[in-house]
Amino acid sequence: MEVKIGVQHAPREIVLESGQSAEEVERAVSDALAGKAQLLSLTDDKGRKVLVPSDRLAYVEIGESATRRVGFGAL
């Protein structure tokens, strides 16, 4: 699923494809915002970790997991 993270005082957002479920991402974000964790820690599809200080989070957009469309055709 696609996750977009807005960081305060940063001109661009962080975009990653994560294998985590929407509930796991939401739990990690809520823990970071509640002060239970100093960092928001997410793992992308390739196993890389993305760490964002919780006090710098502007927004987090959790997208739906979509299957890749291949080929030509009318939609």
- Tokens 């957009």 map to which residue? 61
- 72 vs 48: CA distance, rounded Å: 33
Considering the domain delimited by 2-62, tell me its CATH architecture.
Answer: Roll (2.30)
Closest CA to 52 of 22, 73, 32: 32
- Tokens 């001109």 map to which residue? 11
Q: What is the pTM of this model?
A: 0.79
How many CA atoms, within 13 angstroms, populate the side-chain half-sphere of residue 69?
5
pLDDT digits (tens, 9 = 90+) for 6-57: 999 999 999 999 989 999 999 999 999 999 989 999 999 999 999 999 999 9
| Extents of the domains making up the chain | 2-62
